[in-house]
């Protein structure tokens, strides 16, 4: 068979044709026609390619809401062999059938990564509120045992996202991102915002979206999970830094009913010497439901909000406040938004003007969701937020119901017109638009204070908007706690690194005695231990308050365990903040599924109850009751605490490295399970050999003490590196280079730690400091880890320490 080869610079325009074929150059790619559709292949870089398909005779013009990267000039070659056309960069090969339009992707060594199914593209005519368009679908063929991850956050407890069917419409506890990545080192982003079906079974794997003028997806080859995430962020946006204080502990509840109560919680934590950095005010500070989300303190129990915030600041804490995506009919925002036709007509929360439960439908609230797709509506939203809440000193935004709440759903609700077309067409991108509106407006006004947003929903690209997503109003149970782990890990694997859950679960429907239920107290402690190792540590919920003093006093098991882990969180701040810099600067992730760091160990691919926090600490949350004795059933159920027998949890330690028990220093071999006794205050934690871990001082809030005397723990057994990152803690000067890094490297053969020259400078930077270097040397004959310590003075110049 005769083969035609032509070298092409992808950024050149032009056209050519081969005998009996029809394909032309487009910028950075090629376009071809089959008998019934047009296929466009466009490189965004050597490892990333966009595939667009649409019916012949139609047009496809789309400006992505998620993708912000412009195509990078990319050199590629083409070759034709019969009816197959191959486009090849240095990192990726794309083959397309000139007859069927089927596309496949291969690595540089010609190993096939992914292929579309033959005749796998379909376009079904669809009337979208008067707009003649299509329901679009593309089916792919995965290897039989290929593990894939991502797709956002679901509550089903699955780590590997195979053999399932998802109806991808944003909800309270499910955040959908139509992106998955494979253990084979590639990722696929389906760039569509309408209600979408994802399905994987023995017949294939497909995305099918209700509305689309064409099929539009991006394939990226990153070689490993971190590489795929890096490519996804290059496409959809990089991650800004959060302030240091946001990595401290947050207390919240549904809801503090006065400003005195809110400030009093902070005062109580300070009196108890328990660390706290954030206090959060939930809804109804605005008054009744007709004033829903007025963004003003109209409730008489909040008479002087500026004084309230000042008192919180004087206690060295920060205030977040609840804001919503909807407005009551008596608010100023409602009037202004209605005047530009920027309010939707479907039922949302709250359903009644009365605050009593259940809702009295005879008095509907009249609350309506605003059109966040409309730039003028986003301006109105911000202007009231700025004037009503930012002006009194609020430090961050708790954006609730960003999916948004859609009650009593009717298909015709999706006919509501937005600034960008029907609500159906752009439904799933709502959180991206409303969160992005707040971030962009605040950045335009203020570079002295970093944006911090807590949001209930997310979509592809939201990592660029300074937002931390929480898992919604989950109901407290042991199953729910376990499901949070895989939910957070798969969410992170879509490229959005900041995630958390309501510590203790939001609703306590399963625990009629609330905090008097010993099983719930045990669950809360275990959830808080898990929360210690999430990007945000936040206690929140309805039905019962969750402040530490609600669980007893010092000397009580639950209280002491809670205090222990809040203090541990603060000890780890240098490690956590440096990890956050790795996320921003190097496209890393904070919560890391085990497959990210140990892809060669097949035992870890589907583990859903362990993960890495940063690249050093393996976290193994306890997700079952151990110390609650249950007798009877139904209304006669009796629960009692029973600590007479010490229980244990089994943890798999990935192969390819040794591990150290964080608590004892005991050295363990990887590739096997280990059992750890787990009294109520014990969470199994293991540190990877070769890790270098900075530990900070005991503090009451994140910035109380400078890091002038840090403990630097070395876990030997492999070479290791760590970069300690520092900056001014809460502004954007780091974007201009105002930060410093100190690199540590461990030579395991020479048993030598090198502290390299400090790089960079920022205002207030320490000129000199002490490092207490601790070598964790494994278990001695008693089974307890031993340590060797050397203290050095460091003035920014290279120093080496030999053990």
Closest CA to 215 of 22, 62, 32: 62
Distance CA 739, CA 787 (A): 32
Distance CA 297, CA 391 (A): 12
Closest CA to 540 of 355, 351, 398: 398
Q: Which of 254, 400, 502, 601 is catalytic?
A: 400
Distance CA 207, CA 460 (A): 15
Distance CA 466, CA 501 (A): 17
- The answer to whether residue 473 is catalytic is yes
CA 432 to the chain's CA centroid: 13
Q: Which of 473, 641, 681, 748 is catalytic?
A: 473
Cis-peptide, bond into residue 606, ω within 30° of zero: no
Closest CA to 288 of 300, 276, 278: 300
From first CA to last CA, the distance across the chain in angstroms is 67
Angle, vertex CA 201, rays to CA 200 and CA 203, nearest 5: 115
- Contacts of residue 199, defined as CB under 8 A and 6 or more positions apart, other chains included, come to 164, 165, 166, 205, 206, 208
DSSP type of residue 563: H
Q: Which of 296, 311, 371, 403 is catalytic?
A: 403
Helix 332-339, helix 375-388: angle, nearest 10: 160
Q: How many CA atoms, within 13 angstroms, populate the side-chain half-sphere of residue 75?
A: 2
- Contact assessment for residue 168 and residue 197, using Cβ atoms and an 8 Å cutoff: yes
Strand 785-794: give its sheet, edge to edge.
692-695, 709-714, 769-779, 785-794
Distance CA 30, CA 34 (A): 13
- Contacts of residue 594, defined as CB under 8 A and 6 or more positions apart, other chains included, come to 601, 604, 605, 607, 610, 611, 612, 618, 654
Greatest CA span in the chain, whole angstroms? 85
Residue 129: count other Cβ atoms within 10 Å of its Cβ. Answer: 16
The residue behind tokens 């609650």 is: 628
- Contacts of residue 86, defined as CB under 8 A and 6 or more positions apart, other chains included, come to 78, 79, 80, 93, 94, 95, 96
Strand duo 467-470 + 499-500: pairing: parallel
Q: How is residue 232 written in tokens?
A: 């996804």
- Contact assessment for residue 175 and residue 491, using Cβ atoms and an 8 Å cutoff: yes
Strand duo 175-182 + 186-190: pairing: antiparallel
- Contact assessment for residue 177 and residue 492, using Cβ atoms and an 8 Å cutoff: no
Give catalytic residue positions: 400, 403, 473
């Amino acid at each position: 068979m005769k083969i035609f080869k032509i070298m092409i610079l992808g950024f050149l325009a032009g056209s050519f044709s081969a005998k009996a074929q029809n394909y032309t150059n487009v910028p950075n790619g090629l376009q071809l026609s089959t008998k019934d559709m047009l296929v466009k292949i466009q490189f965004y870089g050597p490892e990333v390619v966009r595939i667009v398909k649409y019916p012949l005779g139609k047009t496809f013009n789309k400006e992505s809401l998620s993708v912000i990267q412009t195509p990078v000039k990319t050199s590629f070659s083409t070759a034709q062999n019969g009816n197959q056309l191959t486009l090849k960069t240095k990192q990726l090969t794309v083959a397309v059938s000139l007859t069927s339009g089927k596309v496949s992707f291969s690595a540089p060594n010609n190993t096939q990564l992914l292929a579309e199914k033959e005749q796998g593209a379909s376009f079904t005519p669809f009337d979208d509120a008067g707009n003649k368009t299509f329901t679009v679908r593309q089916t792919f063929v995965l290897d039989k045992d290929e593990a894939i991850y991502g797709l956002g956050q679901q509550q089903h407890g699955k780590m590997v996202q195979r053999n399932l069917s998802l109806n991808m419409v944003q909800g309270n506890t499910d955040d959908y991102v139509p992106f998955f990545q494979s253990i084979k080192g590639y990722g696929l982003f389906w760039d569509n915002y309408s209600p979408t079906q994802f399905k994987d079974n023995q017949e294939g794997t497909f995305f099918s979206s209700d509305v689309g003028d064409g099929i539009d997806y991006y394939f990226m080859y990153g070689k490993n999970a971190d590489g795929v995430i890096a490519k996804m962020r290059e496409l959809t946006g990089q991650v800004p830094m959060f302030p240091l204080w946001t990595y401290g502990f947050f207390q919240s509840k549904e809801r503090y009913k006065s400003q005195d109560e809110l400030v009093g919680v902070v005062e109580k934590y300070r009196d108890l010497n328990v660390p706290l950095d954030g206090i959060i005010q939930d809804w109804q500070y605005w008054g009744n439901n007709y004033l829903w989300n007025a963004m003003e303190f109209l409730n008489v129990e909040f008479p002087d909000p500026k004084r309230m915030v000042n008192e919180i600041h004087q206690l060295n804490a920060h205030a977040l406040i609840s804001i919503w995506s909807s407005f009551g009919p008596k608010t100023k925002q409602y009037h202004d938004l209605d005047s530009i036709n920027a309010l939707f007509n479907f039922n949302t929360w709250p359903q009644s003007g009365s605050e009593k439960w259940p809702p009295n439908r005879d008095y509907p609230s009249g609350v309506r969701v605003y059109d966040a797709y409309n730039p003028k509506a986003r301006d109105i939203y911000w202007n009231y937020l700025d004037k009503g809440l930012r002006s009194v000193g609020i430090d961050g935004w708790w954006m609730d119901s960003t999916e948004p709440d859609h009650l009593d759903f009717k298909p015709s609700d999706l006919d509501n017109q937005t600034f960008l077309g029907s609500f159906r067409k752009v439904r799933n991108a709502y959180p991206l638009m409303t969160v992005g509106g707040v971030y962009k407006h605040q950045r335009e006004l203020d570079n002295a204070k970093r944006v911090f947003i807590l949001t209930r929903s997310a979509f592809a690209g939201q990592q660029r908007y300074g937002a931390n997503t929480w898992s919604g109003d989950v109901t407290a149970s042991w199953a729910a706690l376990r499901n949070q782990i895989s939910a957070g890990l798969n969410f992170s694997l879509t490229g959005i690194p900041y995630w958390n859950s309501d510590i203790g679960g939001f609703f306590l429907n399963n625990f009629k005695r609330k905090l008097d239920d010993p099983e719930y107290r045990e669950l809360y402690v275990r959830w808080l231990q898990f929360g210690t190792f999430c990007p945000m540590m936040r206690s929140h919920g309805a039905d019962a308050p969750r402040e530490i003093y609600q669980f007893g006093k010092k000397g009580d098991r639950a209280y002491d365990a809670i205090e222990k882990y809040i203090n541990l969180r603060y000890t780890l701040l240098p490690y956590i903040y440096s990890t956050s810099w790795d996320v921003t600067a190097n496209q890393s992730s904070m919560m890391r599924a085990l497959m990210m760091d140990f892809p060669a160990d097949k035992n870890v691919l589907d583990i859903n109850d362990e993960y890495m926090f940063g690249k050093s600490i393996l976290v193994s949350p306890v997700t079952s009751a151990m110390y609650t004795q249950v007798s009877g059933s139904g209304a006669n159920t009796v629960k009692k605490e029973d600590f007479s027998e010490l229980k244990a949890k089994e943890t798999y330690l990935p192969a390819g490295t040794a591990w150290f028990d964080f608590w004892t220093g005991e050295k363990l071999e990887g590739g096997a399970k280990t059992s750890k006794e787990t009294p109520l205050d014990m969470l199994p934690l293991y540190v990877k050999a070769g890790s270098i871990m900075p530990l900070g001082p005991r503090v009451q809030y994140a910035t109380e003490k400078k890091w002038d005397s840090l403990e630097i723990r070395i876990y030997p057994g492999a070479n290791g590196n760590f970069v300690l990152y520092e900056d001014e803690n809460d502004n954007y000067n780091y974007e201009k280079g105002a930060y410093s890094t100190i690199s540590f490297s461990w030579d395991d053969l020479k048993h030598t730690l090198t502290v390299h020259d400090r790089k960079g400078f920022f205002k207030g930077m320490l000129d000199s400091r002490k490092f207490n270097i601790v070598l964790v040397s494994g278990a001695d004959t008693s089974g307890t880890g031993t340590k060797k310590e050397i203290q050095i003075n460091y003035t920014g110049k290279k120093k080496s320490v030999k053990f």
